[in-house]
Every structure is written in structure tokens, then in C-alpha cells.
Structure 1
Amino acid sequence: MIELDGSTGEGGGQILRTSLALSMCTGQPFTIERIRAKRTKPGLMRQHLTCVQAAVEVCGARVQGAELSSQTLVFEPGPVRAGDYSFNVGTAGSCTLVLQTVLPALMLADSSSRVALAGGTHNPMAPPFHFLDRSFAPLLRRLGVGIELELRRHGFYPAGGGEMSALIHPSGRLVAFDVMERGATREAYAECLAAALPRAVGQRELEALGRELGWSGDQLRTPALRQNEGPGNVLMATLACEQVSEVITVFGERGVSAERVADDLAREVRAFESGAGALGPHLADQWMLPLALALWQSGGMARFTCDELTDHSTTNMGVVERFLPVKFDAQRTGTVWKVTVAAPQAWS
């Protein structure tokens, strides 16, 4: 039984999600105490409980402590079962995080699976759907995983109500690879999602962003939304490079001007463009687990670079090392971090 302290490192929900994912993949049971101890409301909230329930359904696990506000959980996994699944967070809590909890196990299963999810698709505290679709999923495909994502309905905080699905085709064996450079930028564009808000809000955000970055024409887009979606406001920039794509998102809030939203996004875009690391901070964080699984299967080592190593990332490294026989090494040269992940035979 692996024993984990949920208050270590960044002390949030990622310790739980990574543990659930790797417990399903490896068959190792775990117990975790002080879940989300560093959050304002510690313990399991609705989206975290949905992650636990989803994991139970996928592998038939036995659990103790799976209830709202619980700060202790015992999870004993059974065999992973491919199939058709449907999970509903029931709030604006992130359904993308629920998907990322069960995805590693299903991409190692013996046949294809379909997962339907309902809840928040665009949440300030979680990867938006477009990030998974454009940044994360392409890297998984290079590992050998077949994955198709579909956004059926946007779900914004605080109303939620979003719908998305994932079709997952496992590969026989994952193959790790290096991501050391992002390559030249092939396309850069912005999109404004302004649901159930005055049309002028989105127009002002895009116009201000265009002035800041020198973007115009087809680089400034307003996707069609359903009439009954929202309210919600998301300004996104996509930078499609030769090796990776980065999706940067800023959320509009009541009392925050359109120009301020655009200025915040422009600042993050310029920071990414001026960096030399291949992966943005969020993609670097989320890439660690599937990369480690590939090395667990196939051996060897793999590397990637990033401009920032967050608390989420360093915490994730520690949890992955508890479940898998891999080691992480992170070295900083100037402004760039080089992260190496190695299986046992490559440690020397």
C-alpha cells in the first residue's frame, strides 16, 4: 500500500488525480491523507469526487472515504476495463480533469473506449478543452495513442453545463520521444468566446489584442456559440509551432475591462514567444505522466525543455516516482529547464 500525504508540494487535487491514474495503470493500491490540505476548502469537492467515482467505474476499485469533504481516501484498484463511460461532474467543476484521471488507464487498456463528460469545459483552474485538443492530444498521438476529442457544448464557470467526449484507441506499446525545441511558429491566432454577453465585449477584446500583438484579419476569430450557452468569456491564443502547439487562455471576469483581458493575454503570449523551452508550464506539467508511462513500458530515457517548472510539476514528479520505477532530473540552464525522465536501466 503506497501512503501519500496530500499536503506535500502544491497540496492540491493533482496529487489525488495522478495517484488515481497510476494506481489504475499499475494495480498498486494507495492511501492518501490530508487531501487538498493547502486549499481554502480542503478535502474532496464535487469534481474530485467525480474523479474518484470515475476511477472506480473504470477499474472496479474498492474505496474508503469517497464522499464530499473527505480528507482521507483508500483506493484498491481492480483490472482496467475498456468500454463506454459517462461521467457528470454536476457543477462547473472541470470535466477535462476527470478525463485526464481515467485517460492513462484507458490508453493502456486492451481495446477502445468512449468517454462522455459533462461539467465545466472552460474553467480558470483547469485545462480548457481547446488546450487538451490542440496541445496535449497531439503529443499523446506521437506516443502511439489514438485519441479523438469532441466539444459538444461549452461549459463556463460558474454555470457549467458543458459536454465533451473522447474516443481512445490504445496502442500496443507507447514509445517515448524527446521534445527539446518547439520549432518555428507556423500559425498564430486568437479566439474570443463571449457567451450570453454583449457582442461588443468580444469585439473590444480582439481589437485590443490585435493592437498589442500586431495581429489582424483571420488571426482574430469569433467562433459560433449556442444561444443557450454561458454566460462566459474566454480569450484564447493558439501558437502552432513545428513540434508543439501552445494554447494560452485568459478568462474575463465581472468588473475587468475587455482591454485588461487582452493585455493579460498579450503579456503571456509575448512571454511564451520570447522563451526557448519547447513546452509551456501547463503542458510540461501534464506531459510528465504519459511520458513516464511510455518509459515504464519501453525503457530508456526521454527529455523535454520548458521555460518554467511550476510547483504542480515538481509535485507531480514526486508522485509519479512513488508509483513507477522512473526518475526525474531537472536542470536549469539560463532561463530554460531541461527535464530528463529515465527508466531503471538508463539510470546510470
Structure 2
Amino acid sequence: MSDQEALTPSSPIHLDGTTLEGGGQLLRLALSVSSLTHIPIHVTNIRGKRGPKSAPGKGGGLKPAHLAGVQWLAGATQAETQGMEVKSKELVFRPRSTAIRAAREERQGEDPDRRTNNEAFCVWKEIKLHGVLIRREARVSMASPGAITLILQAILPYLLFSSSVSVNDPRTGVPLRVTIEGGTNVSNSPSIEYVDQVLLPLLTSKLGTPPIFMTLHQRGWSTGRIEIGSATFDISPMKPRFTIPAFKFQERGQLVKVHVSIIAPGAVARSSIREQVTVQLLAYDPEIEIVFPLDEESGGDKRMYLLLVAETSNGYRLGRDWSQFSGSTVRAKGEKLVSKVVEDLKRELEKGGCVDEYMQDQLVVFQALAAGVAEVDSGEGSEATLHTQTARWVAEKVLGVKFDGEGRCKGVGFVAGEDFLGRNRTKEDAEKAMAGLQM
């Protein structure tokens, strides 16, 4: 009997990659939850609905950007995998549980201070000062400008919750620094600015996670001249036994401020965008404060980006953005960009919800992990997006939670550092499992 067979379910949970949205999000969330809980998964028809419009479903499989996340999580969890290669349309992912790692180290008589080359920590570089471990560092590299934020989406829950691999592990609580190389502003993906200004503050202020700090080293673009960028995320893991409490996002409060981030070619174009945004926002609400945290040269006429983040009196943040790559002139592109993003933000605000359309699906994993009922008010008449429906479906399949028609979910109460699979294991089961480790 192998270590894996001893302490994990014998049959992976099957997930059909053509379900609902049928893209990369299904895989990312499944991997994220599997890595935390050590529940094995088997994903078939990966990205089964992706492909050119003329031949939908013909462009699926793992791209290098997806594979980077899979490989990192596989290394971090000592996962046994099948199909971990570019273009693979099928993946089996079996992470080893905390109990297995501890048992293997004890069986092998391994000194915790000599685990640098152990496969359990192969993704981490240990930074020491005067012999004391002060930080672990990791790097996830992509040779193409795939979205950095989508890699982060896949690995962030693991970084927050399971870096405390054991309550008794002296390494518990060591700060983490993860650098991801790829694209920072990629079409159909959250931008690095959106994550930094909307997602990360929301996790800290509303869910109680430790602050996460982002440092942008270089911007990565897939338009114009291809460039690979990089960003570093400094993360303090959850303390052992931490759980996200039941939460309810409601009563958004009044609009008090809008943060405007502009990336465009040339000072004249950026000044024009700034003026247009100001005029249109003040016409909507003359009392709001407008601030400009980012005004940056894009380095090319085909690169233009605008993010508006609405901040409310009750501490919620709603963002809308867009990258404009087409248009006859820079001026025409700027005008189109401003009009679209301002109108999108106004529609979000008029719905009265606490989160924007793009945040819905990113909160699903935290709802499913929470200790109690978690509810997110997305606004009057707001329906779950296809991405959100897909995320909920994955959470239901893997964790067994249920989302109702209003988006409420009673989470599993995941505890930082816990052996999730061992929750319902009897003493007899544990003894049999540990006996299996010696075979």
C-alpha cells in the first residue's frame, strides 16, 4: 500500500472540464481546493470549451500558463500526477496529506533543519539570518505573458491556509514571498491593479486575512511588443487553527471615493483620459472624491488600460476596468475606453451590491471554506455570472457544500494547517492508515 492510498480517498473526484464556463477557471479552483484538502481530483476535457470561434472546443488542454500553476502546487504538496504536460486534456492530481508528510519524515528520521532538498519543500528557498529562518521564497515562471493574477488565483488559498503545515512545526508562521513572472495586463483576466486595489484589500478588511503586499517589478504585455513582467506577493500565512468566520456582505454604504488608474501612451493621452474621467464621474456624483493612484506610460500605442475603483463608506470596493487595443487613433481609443469603463462602473453602483461582477467568482472558494453561512450581496437583479456558477459547481463537487439561489453557502470551516481528510477518521482508521505506511 502506498502512502497516498493510505490516507486519501482511493478514487479521485471526477470533474468534466466542459461544464458551464468550460475554461481554465474550473481547473484552477479544483487544484486550489484539492491542494488544501488533499482530496484527489481527475479533470477531463480540460478547457473543453476553448478554441477559435470557427472551431470551439478545438483549442483546449493545458497551456504553459496553466501548467505553471499545476507544477507549483504539485511540488508544494508532493502530489502524484498524471497528464501534467502542455496540451494535456486530462489531469489526475493526488496531493499528499499533512499526515503523510509528517509520517514519512519521522519514518526516515529526517532532521527538519536538513529538509532543503526534500521534495516537500522543493518549491521553496529558505532565507535565514544568523541561522534563523526568516522567510520562504518561491518563484513561478512563465515563458509567455500568461496572466500573473490567474496563477495567484490558483495558489493563494494554499499559501494562506496550508503553509502552516503542522501546528507543531517550528516553521509555522514564517512569512512567504512569491514572485510570479508573466503578464500583468492581459485581456479577459484580472489585471495586477485590480487584484492589488480590489481583491487583496477586500480579503483583509472583510475576511480577516493577514495583509498581502504586492510589488510590481516590471509590467508584462501580450499586445504590441511582447514583454514578460513580474510581481512579488508578500504573504503572512494564517495562524494555526484560524478559520474564516461566517460572513455576510451587505449594506454597501454610500459612494465616497473613486480611485482612477491610467496606463496609456504619452502624457497628452493620459491627461485627456484623466480629464474625461473627472468630468463624467462628477456629472454622476458631484460630491465624490477622485484620486489618481496610477498614471503611467504604457510604452506603445496598442496598450491602453483604465481601472476605476469605487470605495464606499462601509469599506467595500467595486472595480471596473478595460484594456483598449483597437481604434483608429490614440484619442479615439481613449474616448471609447473612458466611456465604457465609466458606464460599467455606474451600472455596478446602481445595482446596490457590495461586490462587482468580477469579484463574485473569486469569493466562492472563501465562502466554501468559511466556518458557517457566507453570503455575498451582488446587487438587485444581479445573477451569478457563468464564472461564478462554475466556481460554485466545483466547490460543491469537491467539498460537498451547497449554494442556494441567493448565493448563500454553509462552508466547511476549514482550519489553517489541518489534516482535512482526517476529520472523520476513527482511531481504528488512523491505525490502519499508519500501518499501511510501513508496508
Please give the TM-score of this superposition, normalised by the length of structure 1: 0.88
SS of alignment partner, residue 330 of structure 1: coil
Aligned partners of 1:341 and 1:262: how far apart in 2? 37
- Structure 2 residue aligned with 1:140, among 203, 207, 211? 203
- After TM superposition, give the deviation of residue 202 of structure 1 in Å: 2.1
One of 327, 336, 348 as aligned partner of 1:272? 348
Partners in 2 of 1:313 and 1:321 — Cα distance?
12
Q: 1:90 to 1:231 in 2, by over 3 A?
A: farther
Residue in 2 that maps onto 1:336? none
- In the other structure, the counterpart of 1:165 is 232
* CA shift for structure 1 position 209: 2.5
What residue in structure 2 maps to residue 76 of structure 1? 94
Deviation of 1:22 after TM superposition, in Å, equals: 0.4
Matched position secondary structure for 1:164? strand
TM-aligned CA distance change 1:238 to 1:259, over 3 Å: same
What is the CA distance between 1:325 and its match in structure 2? 3.5
Taking a change above 3 Å as real, the CA distance of residues 5 and 105 of structure 1, as seen in their structure-2 partners, is: same
Please state how far the C-alpha of 1:121 moved relative to its aligned partner: 1.2
- Contiguous gaps of at least 5 residues in structure 1: 332-338
Question: Which residue does the alignment assign to 2:151?
Answer: 98
The answer on whether the counterparts of 2:196 and 2:214 sit within 8 Å (CA) in structure 1 is yes
After superposition, what is the alpha-carbon deviation per residue over 1:88-116, rounded to whole angstroms, capped at 9, x for unaligned? 12212101111111111111121332111
Q: Distance in 1 between matches of 2:16 and 2:276?
A: 45
Structure 1 residue 135 displacement after superposition = 1.6
Distance 1:272 1:132, change over 3 A: same
Provide the TM-score with structure 2 as the length reference: 0.70
2:272 paired residue number: 204
Q: Which residue of 2 aligns with 1:334?
A: none
Structure 2 residue corresponding to 1:192, chosen from 241, 262, 265: 262
Gaps of 5+ in 2: 1-11, 52-58, 99-120, 125-135, 165-172, 414-439
Instruction: Describe the SS at the equivalent of 1:285.
Output: helix
- 1:178 corresponds in structure 2 to 248
Larger strand percent: 1
CA–CA distance in structure 1, aligned partners of residues 397 and 272 of structure 2: 48
Match of 2:105 in 1: none
Matches within 5 A, 1:113-152: 113-141=176-204, 142-146=206-210, 147-152=212-217
- The answer to whether 1:38 aligns with 2:49 is yes
Please point out which of 25, 48, 54 is paired with 2:36. 25
Equivalent AA in structure 1 for residue 137 of structure 2? D
Same amino acid, percent of matched pairs: 27
Instruction: Report the structure number with the largest CA radius of gyration.
Output: 2
- Conserved? CA contact 2:24–2:46, under 8 Å: yes
Shift of 1:157: 2.5
Q: For each residue in 1:254-302, what CA deviation from the matched residue of structure 2 results, as whole angstroms up to 9, or x when unmatched?
A: 326211111111110110121111111111110110221123xxxx212
Equivalent position SS for 1:133: helix
**Alpha-carbon contact 1:182-1:278 (below 8 Å) kept:** yes
> Structure 1 residue 133: deviation in Å?
1.6
Letter in 1 for 2:157: P
Give the C-alpha shift of residue 138 in structure 1.
2.2
Per-residue deviation, 1:55: 1.2
